[in-house]
Structure 1
Amino acid sequence: MDCTRCGACCVAPDIAALDKPLGLRCPHLGADNLCTVYERRPQVCRDYQPDAVCRLIEAPTLEERVHKYLALFELTAEADDVRQRGCYSMRHARRG
């Protein structure tokens, strides 16, 4: 399956290698939903391969795709908590 460049994988999941919390936009994701550090992105990003989840979360906007991703994995409440607490890093989010 080819990447649709929807950006959801750079927002919805947490990315430890980038200290990016659940549900927050990666600081390296450009306005065009493309990685601005693509050539030097971490290995976890290099290893990611589009799969069936990409099709399951298809939607017109990035916000809708992220919402569907979080709901699919039952992470909506946890992501809402991270956003409400203003967590800017995974370390900060884990301190709760």
Structure 2
Amino acid sequence: MDCTRCGACCVAPDIAALDKPLGMRCPHLTADNLCSVYERRPQVCRDYAADEVCHLIEAPTLEERVQKYLALFGLTDEAESIRQRGCSSMRKARSG
């Protein structure tokens, strides 16, 4: 399956290598949903491959795709809590 460059994988999951909390936009994700550090991205990002989840979360906007991703994995409440606290790092999100 080819990547659709939708950006959901750079927002929905937490990414420890980037200290990026669940449901928060990666600071390296550009306005057009591309990675600004693509050549230097961490291994976890390099290893990620588009799969059936990409089709399951298809939606017109990035926010809708992220919400569908979080719901699919039962993470909506946790992500909302992190967002409300305004956690800028995964470590802070996990400690709160």
Report the count of equivalent residues. 96
Displacement of 1:86: 0.8
Scaled by the length of structure 2, the TM-score of the pair is: 0.99
Identity %: 83
2-structure distance, mates of 1:87, 1:23: 10
Displacement of 1:41: 0.2
1-structure distance, mates of 2:91, 2:79: 14
The equivalent of 1:22 in structure 2 is 22
Give ranges in structure 2 of 5+ residues lacking alignment: none
Give ranges in structure 1 of 5+ residues lacking alignment: none
The equivalent of 2:35 in structure 1 is 35
2-structure distance, mates of 1:39, 1:70: 27
The equivalent of 1:77 in structure 2 is 77
Q: What letter is aligned with 1:28?
A: H
2-structure distance, mates of 1:62, 1:94: 24
Q: What letter is aligned with 2:37?
A: V
- Partner secondary structure for residue 9 of structure 1: helix
Displacement of 1:93: 0.5
The equivalent of 1:7 in structure 2 is 7
Structure 1 outlier segments of 4+, above 6 Å: none
